[in-house]
């Protein structure tokens, strides 16, 4: 991967070799990425895409790593991280144009300062806007897809803009899962609100999260998608799996829907526990839980 590193380093300031993914994921585990690049502009994103195509090199695009579980062997090829280096907001009336690396908490609070709301439910989700749109993130009855106007995408071949009605938003789903394009920006239409009331709502929702979720331990949020007609956490608890451990990985005793790194867990222990939960819940209820956490890396 030296050639990829050398090419990218000529045009982009922040390029790293053998970067430990444990420093870039909320689980705080994961082996090295061969090359990690943190672009600041859309043009730099295109350079990464063109380089990967030129070298026929694997490319993985990530945000803040809050929904990732990376194996101990790490990720081969190039990892492009669109996060703090690729962040920014521009407001125009009730609309906001945001770079895809903008943290959701920043979006919500900056909007509230301008008396714009509706997206308070996103304030406690630790991911980025791009990742949220990719999976149509939601909480407490709201989904980000309800507020999207346009999604700006790029590839090695050029740019594309998709309108809301082209995004095929559904539960934890958008059309982006099926297209090889990178989200660079999103235009959202928000709702006029009272700043104080909006910030109060954010704090109330975050307090609920702290009370009910094991935020004191490394995790990737809700481990499983909500099954049809029920909740993953309820099924897991009914199966008697709260507190189940494999090494340092544990099904949270606070909220059964979370697999946590209780301390010193390896990626393989976390993966094994996720698979054990899937198997036992299926045996008990006939429901196969689909992970919301994305497992990536060399096995």
- Per the annotation, the verdict on 292 as an active-site residue is yes
174 is catalytic: no
How many beta carbons lie within 10 A of that of residue 182, not counting itself?
23
Mapped onto helix, strand or coil, the DSSP state of residue 55 is helix
Distance CA 128, CA 105 (A): 9
Q: How far apart are CA 44 and CA 78, in angstroms?
A: 14
Angle at 285 between CA 280 and CA 291, to 5 degrees: 60
Catalytic-labelled residue, pool 76, 172, 226, 280 = 172
Tokens coding 175: 């059309």
Of these residues, 83, 219, 222, 252, which one is catalytic? 222
d(CA 14, CA 196): 38
Within 156-246, strands assigned E span: 158-163, 182-189, 191-192, 245-246
Q: Rounded to a whole number, what is the largest CA-CA distance in the chain?
A: 56
Where does 91-128 have alpha helices with state H?
104-113
Residue 284 to residue 262: CA distance in whole angstroms:
26
Question: 26 near 220, Cβ under 8 Å?
Answer: yes
Q: Are 63 and 104 in contact (CB under 8 A)?
A: no
CB neighbourhood size of 285 (10 A) = 15
Catalytic positions are 172, 222, 292
């Amino acid at each position: 991967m030296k050639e990829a590193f050398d090419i990218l380093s000529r045009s982009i300031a922040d390029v790293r070799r053998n970067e430990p993914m444990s420093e870039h994921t909320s689980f705080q585990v994961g082996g090295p990425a061969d090359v990690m690049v943190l672009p600041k502009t859309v043009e730099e994103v295109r350079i990464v895409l063109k380089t990967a195509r030129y070298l026929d090199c694997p490319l993985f695009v990530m945000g803040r790593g809050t929904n990732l579980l990376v194996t101990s062997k790490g990720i081969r090829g190039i990892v492009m991280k669109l996060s703090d280096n690729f962040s920014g907001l521009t407001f125009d009336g009730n609309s906001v144009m945001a770079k895809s690396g903008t943290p959701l908490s920043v979006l919500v609070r900056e909007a509230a300062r301008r008396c714009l709301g509706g997206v308070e439910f996103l304030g406690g989700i630790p991911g980025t806007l791009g990742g949220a749109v990719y999976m149509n993130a939601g909480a407490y009855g709201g989904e980000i897809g309800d507020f999207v106007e346009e999604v700006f995408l790029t590839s090695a071949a050029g740019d594309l803009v998709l309108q809301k009605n082209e995004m095929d938003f559904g539960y934890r789903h958008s059309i982006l899962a099926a297209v090889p394009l990178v989200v660079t920006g999103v235009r959202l239409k928000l709702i006029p609100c009272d700043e104080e009331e909006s910030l109060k709502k954010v704090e109330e929702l975050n307090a609920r999260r702290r009370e009910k979720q094991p935020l004191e331990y490394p995790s990737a949020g809700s481990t499983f998608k909500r099954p049809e007609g029920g909740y993953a956490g309820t099924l897991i608890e009914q199966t008697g799996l709260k507190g189940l451990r494999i090494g340092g990985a544990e099904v949270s005793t606070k909220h059964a829907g979370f697999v946590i790194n209780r301390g010193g867990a390896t990626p393989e222990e976390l993966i094994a526990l996720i698979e054990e939960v899937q198997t036992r819940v299926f045996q008990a209820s006939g429901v196969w839980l689909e992970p919301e956490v994305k497992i990536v890396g060399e096995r």
